[in-house]
Amino acid sequence: EAGVVQSPRYKIIEKKQPVAFWCNPISGHNTLYWYLQNLGQGPELLIRYENEEAVDDSQLPKDRFSAERLKGVDSTLKIQPAELGDSAVYLCASSLGRGLGEQFFGPGTRLTVL
Amino acid sequence: SQQGEEDPQALSIQEGENATMNCSYKTSINNLQWYRQNSGRGLVHLILIRSNEREKHSGRLRVTLDTSKKSSSLLITASRAADTASYFCAPWAGSNYKLTFGKGTLLTVNP
């Protein structure tokens, strides 16, 4: 069974440029999460989807961040415009419904904003 | 806060030794999960212990849970260099379906 797929793995952009990250969850997992992880810290939840619906986006900086999960499968996280402080690893995870909470993580996208 | 806090922040041991990491949390939970993250990679789920369980084993891993003290421990026996990673605990209350991670314990196993 394929795991959570993310692309790109690495991205370097200049500040004020837009950037987008893509995630394909494990087949059949209807819950999808985007996390941000700064160096030396644990992941912080940005947004959680149940199918197509964003059910928890309270930590998403909506002035510059946006996300979508069309058709309830793949998801895209966008930053526009990027700031220096956005340099971090962006992790996508999925889970089988609400289940017991076990989540499966992708390898992440390491973003560097210059 | 539902967030778990791991202790110690860093741990360095020799290959073959046992490693123990602790986790404390503040609210009632349904379960507590441990994850591992190797350098530059995503997190991998290691083990889940439910609130009505006191101890659970998986291979070289042993997890304990004391809900009265709101604490958990992860023991890795006969450690290997490949166990070098950051380890995170994540309490799960269920009510908001959210895992909240602490800063983790950075384990270094020296060959």
The pLDDT of residue A7: 97
Q: Is the distance from CB of A26 to CB of A4 less than 8 angstroms?
A: yes
Cβ atoms of A16 and A82 closer than 8 Å: yes
Q: What pLDDT was estimated at residue A104?
A: 93
Alpha-carbon distance of A18 to A45, in angstroms, equals 21
Sheet holding A5-7, edge to edge: A5-7, A19-24, A75-79, A65-68
Q: How far is CA A68 from the centre of its chain?
A: 10
How many other β-carbons are positioned within 10 Å of the β-carbon of residue A94?
A: 24
* Residue A22 in contact with partner chain B when CB distance is under 8 A: no
Q: Closest partner residue to B33 among A56, A91, A101, by Cβ?
A: A101
- Are B42 and A42 inside 8 Å of each other by CB? no
Residue-wise pLDDT tens digits, A37-88: 999 899 999 999 999 999 889 899 999 999 999 888 999 999 999 999 999 9
In A, minimum Cα distance to B4 occurs at A42
**Tens of each residue's pLDDT in chain B, 111 residues:** 568 889 999 999 999 999 999 999 998 888 999 999 998 677 999 999 999 999 999 999 999 999 999 999 999 999 999 999 999 999 988 766 678 888 999 999 999
